């Protein structure tokens, strides 16, 4: 029997090379529109085209730059500036941090107080779900934030946190994905973003919250990842095949956002969140590093369990490996170990050994098919310390 489930997604998905040209026509012509971007995008021909087109249409814009995972202070200050400028819609063009900043500001324009008041596990208020219209335009293929209902807000340090502003209504109304925007993204960033997307697909694929819809999207996403990941494994940067790889990776990342929003994630993300609060490790790097050490332990649990349900999860993981062309789970995880050799380790981002116990104490197994013990989680972290 098919189970009981629900599926949320954007109202409008526009995908494909050249789609950025749709953007001026999608932006409301009344009120001011806030454009949040990364620094790099404002130097691109796409930005000049947008600014020119919007001027032709007499659209008033406020342009702001976000360069790192948004803190509560950044969100509150952008919200205040936007309110004073009469902002009535938000467009975010960038990586996960930029999109999350955009989602948070769009929501906070319709909420009283500061964003911290509404953060899960931190604030004392529930978001109402009201938000101004929001268009998400990813320029990296990673977090899938363009499809998710949360914005991750970070405060670093000993009293740090990495928590979500979350509501079903915060899924951006329009996701506009033009894979060409990621062409030229540096290899190390492309790799860590891609590993995050694959991790999200794999964790949703074996999530205890998986649904028929997320299963279909996760399988399809892994197929696209297999095609797009030639960019990393064959070093196709700058060549004739880069655009083709980028388009497959962009769709894999989008699918991963839908699957994570609807099925939930597992222990890799359960550890990566708190890790990001203790050191400046980018989210994609944290997930890329932890994927193999965590999944090796998940597989060991499943193999020892022997129960029918554990067999189902194991056969799902084996199928994931075969989609990527790997003969066994060992090969699949070995591939991630090879890729993660190219990523800086956690200590290089300022993680101290004395912080690891606190990181683990805040970690969770979320929707993982097995619960890793704190000791197992700690050993996984120390493998990539």
Which positions touch Fe ion (CB under 5 A)?
196
**Residue number, nearest CB to Fe ion:** 196
Least separation, in Å, of the C-beta of 294 and Fe ion? 13
Least separation, in Å, of the C-beta of 283 and Fe ion? 6
Which lies closer to Fe ion via its Cβ, residue 37 or residue 192?
A: 192
CA 259/CA 339 separation, integer angstroms: 24
Residues forming a β-bridge with 137: 93
Q: What is the DSSP string of 272-293?
A: HHHHHHHS---HHHHHHHHHHH
Which lies closer to Fe ion via its Cβ, residue 35 or residue 198?
A: 198
Q: What is the DSSP string of 316-336?
A: HHHHHHHHTT-SSHHHHHHHH
Residues 6+ apart with CB under 8 A from 361: 374
Which lies closer to Fe ion via its Cβ, residue 35 or residue 254?
A: 254
Least separation, in Å, of the C-beta of 167 and Fe ion? 19
CA atoms within 13 A on the CB side of 67: 3
Least separation, in Å, of the C-beta of 286 and Fe ion? 8
Cβ pair 146, 137 in contact under 8 A: yes
Which lies closer to Fe ion via its Cβ, residue 196 or residue 376?
A: 196
Cβ pair 363, 270 in contact under 8 A: yes
Residues 6+ apart with CB under 8 A from 46: 20, 181
Angle between helices 187-205 and 329-340 in degrees, nearest 10 = 150
Least separation, in Å, of the C-beta of 269 and Fe ion? 6
Which lies closer to Fe ion via its Cβ, residue 106 or residue 287?
A: 287
CA 368/CA 247 separation, integer angstroms: 29
Q: How far is CA 313 from the centre of its chain?
A: 24
Which lies closer to Fe ion via its Cβ, residue 178 or residue 196?
A: 196
Least separation, in Å, of the C-beta of 88 and Fe ion? 30
CA 60/CA 45 separation, integer angstroms: 20
Least separation, in Å, of the C-beta of 256 and Fe ion? 8
Least separation, in Å, of the C-beta of 287 and Fe ion? 5
Determine phi and psi for 34, rounding to 5 degrees. Answer: -85, 125
Least separation, in Å, of the C-beta of 252 and Fe ion? 13
Which lies closer to Fe ion via its Cβ, residue 202 or residue 332?
A: 202
Which lies closer to Fe ion via its Cβ, residue 69 or residue 196?
A: 196
Closest CA to 174 of 132, 217, 144, 134: 134
CA 306/CA 312 separation, integer angstroms: 10
Cβ pair 153, 119 in contact under 8 A: yes
Which lies closer to Fe ion via its Cβ, residue 260 or residue 351?
A: 260
Beta strands in the chain (DSSP E): 12-15, 32-37, 60-65, 87-94, 134-138, 150-155, 161-166, 174-177
CA 333/CA 350 separation, integer angstroms: 26
Least separation, in Å, of the C-beta of 200 and Fe ion? 5
């Amino acid at each position: 029997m098919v189970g009981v489930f629900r599926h949320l997604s954007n109202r409008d998905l526009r995908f494909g090379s050249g789609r950025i040209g749709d953007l001026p026509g999608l932006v409301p012509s009344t009120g001011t529109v806030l454009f949040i971007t990364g620094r790099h995008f404002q130097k691109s021909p796409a930005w000049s085209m947008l600014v020119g087109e919007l001027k032709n249409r007499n659209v008033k814009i406020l342009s702001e730059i976000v360069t790192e995972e948004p803190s509560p202070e950044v969100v509150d200050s952008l919200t205040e500036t936007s309110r004073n400028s009469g902002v009535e819609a938000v467009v975010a063009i960038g990586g996960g941090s930029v999109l999350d900043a955009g989602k948070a500001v769009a929501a906070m324009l319709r909420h009283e107080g500061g964003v911290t008041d509404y953060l899960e596990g931190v604030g004392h208020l529930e978001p109402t779900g009201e938000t101004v219209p929001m268009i998400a335009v990813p320029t990296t293929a990673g977090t899938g934030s363009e499809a998710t209902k949360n914005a991750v807000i970070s405060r670093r340090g000993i009293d740090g946190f990495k928590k979500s502003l979350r509501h079903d209504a915060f899924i951006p109304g329009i996701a506009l994905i033009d894979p060409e925007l990621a062409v030229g993204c540096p290899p190390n960033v492309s790799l860590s973003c891609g590993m995050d997307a694959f991790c999200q697909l794999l964790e949703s694929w074996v999530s205890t919250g998986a649904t028929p819809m997320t299963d279909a999207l996760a399988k399809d996403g892994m197929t696209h990842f297999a095609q797009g990941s030639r960019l990393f494994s064959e070093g196709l940067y700058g060549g004739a095949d880069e655009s083709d790889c980028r388009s497959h990776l962009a769709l894999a990342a989008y699918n991963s956002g839908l699957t994570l929003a609807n099925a939930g994630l597992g222990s890799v993300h359960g550890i990566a969140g708190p890790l990001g609060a203790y050191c400046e490790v980018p989210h994609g790097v944290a997930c890329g590093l932890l994927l193999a050490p965590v999944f090796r332990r998940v597989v060991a649990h499943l193999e020892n369990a022997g129960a029918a349900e554990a067999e189902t999860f194991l056969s799902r993981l084996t199928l994931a490996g075969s989609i990527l062309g790997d003969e066994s789970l060992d090969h699949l995880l070995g591939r991630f170990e090879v890729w993660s050799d190219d990523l800086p380790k956690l200590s290089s981002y300022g993680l101290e050994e004395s912080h690891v116990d606190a990181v683990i104490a805040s970690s969770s197994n979320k929707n993982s098919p097995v619960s890793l013990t704190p000791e197992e989680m700690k050993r996984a972290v120390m493998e990539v310390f």
